[in-house]
Structure 1
Amino acid sequence: MFRGLGPEIEHRGEIVVIGLGRFGSSLSRTLVDMGHEVMGVDLDSANVQAHAGVLTHVAEADTTNEQVLRQLGVAEATTVAVCIGADIEASVLTAVALSDLGVPNIWAKAMTEPHGRILSRVGAHNVVFPEAEMGQRVAHLITGGVLEYVALDEDFVLAEMTAPASLVGVPLGESNLRRDHRVTIVCHKPDSGRFTHTDRDTVLSPQDLIVIAGRRKDVDSFGPSRR
C-alpha cells in the first residue's frame, strides 16, 4: 500500500533513515547493501549502537527538533525516510521539521490511514503502509495458489503462480485471457528454466510459473478460478 504525492526525485548523496526499529533497520541495511551511504538516526541509544559500523553514520537525536536536524546536516539531504513506529506524534513532528527544512524527497511510514493522511498534509511526499501491505501479501500466500503478491498501487497488482490448467498447451494469443479475466501474463518461468517474457505464441507447460498483472479484484478472482 503506497501513496505517492510528490514528483519523482532522482536521489543523490547520503540517505537519512530516521527510526531504526525493525522497518527502519531493514530499510537502512538494504540500502547499504545496494551501495548507498546511509545515516541512521534514532532516539534510542541501543538502536543507534546496534547500527554503528553497519551504516555510514549513526546519531542519537530527537528528530522532532528542526535545529537538531540542521546540526546533523539533514537539511542538505535529498532523501529522508521517516520510519518511526508507534510514536505517531514524533513521526508527524519529524515530517513537519523535514518539510520546513525543505528536504525535497521525504518518505514516511504510516501505521494507519489517518496517520498517512496527516503525514501527507504536513509535507511527506511519499507515504508507505508496510504493515497493511504485508498483511495483504500474506493473506494471498497462506490461502494457497499464489507464490508471490506485490501491490504496485492501491488497485494494480502482480501475482506469481503456477500456470493454470486452462492455459496449458495453447498459445496465449488464443487463450482469451484478457477478455475472460482482464489480466495479462507478463512473463513466465519454464520448469528448471529462468523467467522470460511472454508473447502471443508462448505455450505454457503444467509446471511453468507465471506472473500476472491486473486490477486487484481481477487478479484475486483469477487465482481461485484457475483451479
Structure 2
Amino acid sequence: MVDHLNSLRRLRGKRRAGKSARAARPAADQRIAVIGLGRFGSSLANELMHHGWDVLGIDTDPRLVQKYSDGLTHSAVADSTDPEVLRQLGVHEFTSAVVGIGTDVEASILVSSNLLDAEVPNIWAKAISRQHGKILERLGVHHVVLPEHEMGERVAHLVAGRMLDFIEFDDDYALVKTIAPDPVTGVPLGRSQVRSRYGVTVVGIKRPGEAFTYASADTVVQKGDVIVVTGKTRAVETFADLS
C-alpha cells in the first residue's frame, strides 16, 4: 500500500510538472495504460512512446518501474488486480490498455476483468497459451495476442519456404513478401493471369535499388524482383514455392 501511495504521488508530480506542456499532449485516443513491464510490455510501451503516445506504465515490481520510468510519460508501482488501484490511477479514463502480464495467468485474468468492468474501450492482452487466450476472449477482451506462438508460426513459414516475410490474418488470409517466381516474370501481370491461375494478387513490387511501388495489370515483373502478394494462406504458400 505504501508503494502504491508513493507511486500515486510520483504520478501526480509528473502531471503537475508537465502542466505547461499540455498544449502538446497527445489526443485522448493516444493515451494508453501498459500493465506489466516485462519484455513484451516494456518493448510495446517504448515503441508507443516513439510514436507520440501518452503511456502510463504499471508493474508490481519497483525495479522494473524504476528501470523504465524515465522513458515513459507516467509510471507507477501498483497492484492492478485491485480495481480501486486502477481507479485511483485513472485508468478508466484511458481509451486503450494493454495487459502485458505473462507468467501469472490468474493476475492476467483479474486485471483484464478489472479493465472490462471499468469499461476501457480498447483492451489488448497477452496470452501465454491458446487456453489462456480462449479464457481472455470469453471474458470479452477485445484483442488477444500470443506473441511466442505467432512469431514461431511466422518464422516457420520463412524457414520452410522462399518467403522473405509472412503475416497471417483472420479468415485464413495472408500477406507475403517473396522473390518473384519464374512463371510470372517477363510478361505484364494482366497477361500472366496470376489471380486466376494461382488465386493470389500482386499488390507491390520492388526492384534492386528502387523503392516499392504499387503493381498494376501493366506491370512487368522481372527476375529478381521482390513482390508483395496477398491471398488465402495456402495459395500464397504455393505461389511463393513456385520455381
Q: Name the SS of the counterpart of 1:158 in structure 2.
A: strand
Question: Which residue matches 2:100?
Answer: 83
* Structure 1 residues 123-170: Cα deviation after superposition (integer angstroms, max 9, x where no partner): 311111211210111112223411111123251111101111111101
Deviation at 1:13, TM superposition (A): 4.3
Does structure 1 residue 213 correspond to structure 2 residue 230?
yes
- What letter is aligned with 1:186? V
CA distance in 2, matches of 1:136, 1:41: 30
Contact 2:28 2:94 in 1 (8 A): no
Match of 1:174 among 177, 188, 191: 191
65-74 vs 13-22, greater mean Cα deviation: 13-22
Contact 1:182 1:218 in 2 (8 A): yes
Count of aligned positions: 217
Match of 2:175 among 158, 181, 190: 158
Contact 1:11 1:79 in 2 (8 A): no
CA distance in 2, matches of 1:117, 1:154: 17
Match of 2:216 among 186, 199, 206: 199
Does structure 1 residue 46 correspond to structure 2 residue 77?
no
Match of 1:132 among 129, 132, 149: 149
Contact 2:161 2:240 in 1 (8 A): no
TM-score, normalising length: structure 2: 0.85
Q: What is the 5 A alignment of 1:15-54?
A: 15-54=32-71
Q: Name the SS of the counterpart of 2:56 in structure 1.
A: strand
Deviation at 1:174, TM superposition (A): 1.0
Q: 4+ residue runs of structure 1 moved beyond 2 angstroms? A: none
Question: Which residue matches 2:11?
Answer: none
TM-score, normalising length: structure 1: 0.91
Does structure 1 residue 99 correspond to structure 2 residue 116?
yes
Question: Which residue matches 2:205?
Answer: 188
Contact 1:28 1:40 in 2 (8 A): yes
Deviation at 1:11, TM superposition (A): 6.4
Change (3 A) 1:11 1:150: farther
How much is the aligned-residue C-alpha RMSD, in angstroms?
1.4
- What letter is aligned with 2:88? Q
CA distance in 2, matches of 1:132, 1:60: 29
- What letter is aligned with 2:180? A
Q: Please, which runs of 5 or more residues in structure 2 have no aligned partner?
A: 1-26
CA distance in 2, matches of 1:11, 1:183: 39
Higher helix share: 2
* Structure 1 residues 102-128: Cα deviation after superposition (integer angstroms, max 9, x where no partner): 111111111222211211222311111
Greater relative contact order, per chain length (Cα 8 Å cut-off, separation 6+): 1
Contact 1:108 1:128 in 2 (8 A): yes
Does structure 1 residue 112 correspond to structure 2 residue 132?
no
Deviation at 1:175, TM superposition (A): 1.1
